[in-house]
Structure 1
Amino acid sequence: MKKKRGACSSVAKVAVLMVSFAMAVVMFAAGTGVATVTLDAEQQQVSEGASFWIYTMAVDPRDRPHILYHDSSNIYHSVKEGGTWRSSMVDSIWESFDLALGPDDGLNLCYLRYNYMDDDVELVYSTNTGGTWGSEVLATGWDIISPQIAVDGHGNAHICHHTASGDLVYRTNSGGSWTDSTLVDEVDTNNGQIFIRGEDVVGILYSDDTNGLLKSATKDGGSWSTQTIDEGASSYSLALTPGDHDNVHLCYMVSGNMFKYATTKGGQWYSEVIPGSGMASNYQIAAGPDDKAHVVYVDDVDGDLKYTTNAEGTWSTHLIDQSGDVGNCQIAVGSSGDVHIGFNYPYGDLMYATNSDGAWTTHVVEHTEIGVLSSGPLIIGPKGMVHIAYQRSMTNEIFYGSFTPSVITRPGLPENVTVTPQQGYANITWSPPANNGSADIVAYKLYRGPNLTSMMTLAIVEGTSFMDAGTIEGTTYYYQVSAVNREGEGERSSIVNITLMNTPSAPTNLTLSNEDDHILLHWEPPTDDGGSPVTGYNIFRGVNDSALDLLTTVDNTSFEDFQVLEGVTYYYAVVATNDLGAGSTSEAVNGAIIVNAPSQTEGLLPLAGMAIAGVVAVTGVLLWRRGRSKG
């Protein structure tokens, strides 16, 4: 009997617990001053314990996270639906499992299981595509090593694994039933990784340990073809271009302490040294929607965590963390090209970094006294939510965290700024900006100046209007407004201007005269039109000086009043108007008396009037009719 590679323990008790934690957000790296990323993470315990490092995660198109883990005896599947985690046992396990998500949201697993009855190891494929987990044995043998799985666009599964003798074996159910073939048997192989490019092009990366080569094997509908990618690569990280997966991206170390990048171009592999990288470890690569590479790694020279990308055409590197004590790290790229990095301090905090706001910021996702053992997969879901799985120290508990980074920027410019002249002040109004920067507007800053280039702060207000009473009639003022949120002051609005006006002063030299059977009023325009042309005159009349009613409105400087009666005293006033309104009303008035005239006398006796502020003082006249003498 061959010696077993491990021992199977009894089935461990497992439970799915939901524990909410208040997340502390700590900003370590300052941004550009124009944006801030904030998090509100929900953290939940998924398991009470798991084997060291043995867990993985996938997120389906419905944004549901699936976590697979094993406790040295069994594989468990936990899925979050409607805020609640459901857990179920999938199968017993020996070691080495891999997970792939199919196009129908089904999970596909391959793993090694120990058969007690036959004292043998089985290569098993399991899937829950039909709603429940089902499995089948693909091969048996103690020499099966490191199975890996991928699923094509048609839902077919593809598996590769090595053997103890160094062979590379490929298996698939694409023909309806499982078939297998040995791809490489003449050299020792290792580090096999299977992937799907496009809909159904199968690719396998592997190390040719005999010749020290990093190689690829590709099957595009026909036979397999192989290419050499580079020499001297000891390990690598693989990424596929999102969406159609047309291109493959790699980063890896080679002899001579060179950190390199390779990608496919036109079906051929191309490689280059990543400038300034030197010795690198814990490296991971992701591809963005623009088919550019994004790499996170630990610089072994200074211990810093760094990020490098060729998104701008040439490689540029950014410092993420300088603690010198970074554990493993993960990287993902969002649909808009924003980069997300998860990492941990060994037996310390779980960290998250992003450049969503245009500058790198770092946050604490979880801080515990026992520390975080490892930060696991980090995935950006279809709705932009960040999903991260991690394991706590000592207890090996698996936890899950999720959050949608909120990028707070300074607000946009206020809209619809208008200024309206009022009597003695200017009224400025505006609408909130269309973009508040993802944060509440806390104030508006109002600027005023005598010209376009001399704008000074006038006031800070909370509402969307302001009355500027510190104005001088006849002066032109310029105004603009900006909005303020927690991130700071946003862009200023366009500039509006106004020349402040007032109502006119009172018309002058009002006179009344008798024209046989009516009274003729005449006056002169006001000496001050208030900065706006006079648009008309309101004529008031009454039978006493304290109750004048509007008689009529005219647009010239005279009026004939035919609605007069004998023996009645009339009081008159005239008020000028402009676009701002009517002038002020005079308090002083004079009367006009209509009586029968002496029999042999006729004429008009004018009474002198006086002008007062806002209104012409009414001038009275004595109007009589021609009479006849007795005898």
Structure 2
Amino acid sequence: MVTFSAPAPPPNSKTLLKEMATGTFEGTYSVIKVTTDEAGIATGTTFTATKVTGVYQITVSVEGIAAPVIFELTSIDVPNSLNDLEAIPGDGQVTLNWEPPVNTRGRPVIGYIVYQLDAAYNKTRLTPTMLGPDVRTYVIKDLANDKPYMFAVSAVNIVGEGVTTYVLPVTPRTSLPIPEAPTITQVFWRDKELRIFWVGHNSEGKPEITGFKLYRQLYSLQHPLDNPASPWQLIATLPATQDSYFDADVTAGVTYSYYITAINSAGEGYPSNVLFEEAGSK
């Protein structure tokens, strides 16, 4: 259903018929046409639309003369993926931290669902009741040390459950002198390069970060974390002072995934979140 409201034009005046009105879209529709009398468009009038979002024009009749009314329509849908998701290993546990989606598709987030994944990406829900909209962290306990685990989180709004965000395998350990996982903050296309930016996290009681290792693979919708047709490849080993990398060895129209690890004297740390972006043509 689409509902909208617009100012009623006064008698003998057609000017207000071109003012903008607002509305919301739900469902799939096919026809655009509404006819009213000289009282103008009544609040709550419903009609059908041919596209999900954009600017629409309908026809109304004032004093027997047909005239257009233009208004803007906003789509609603399930939320996009989370803005960020990281997994921090501990002794027999993993802590998940996240930020809400940047785009909630027209309706606010009402909660989050946490999943554990097996090797085939089958999801098992870990939160029988949906977590509240203000929750930003979740601890999974009673895990075996030295065994890798995979987790995912999705946001929910009134329309339904949104796009799932995955995190790379993480391994709980009794002693963790290696670095915490860095955070990739953004990946975007500019000047014929995919540009990757990240933040490293030095932790109290652990040796200082001495460098980073950046990995890349071809993105796969079916296997977002482990594409069997394109194994992860180390593309750069970088100094600890570096917080960005411009990848020019890419093909236009191809989407690439990236993650990064930190290095210290104890070894290579845990993988960051995964972000992906398509290489443009200019």
| Structure with the largest fraction of strand | 1
Structure with higher RCO (Cα < 8 A, 6+ apart): 2
User: TM over 0.5, yes or no?
Assistant: no
Structure label with greater radius of gyration: 1
**Normalising by structure 1, what TM-score?**
0.20
**Normalising by structure 2, what TM-score?**
0.41
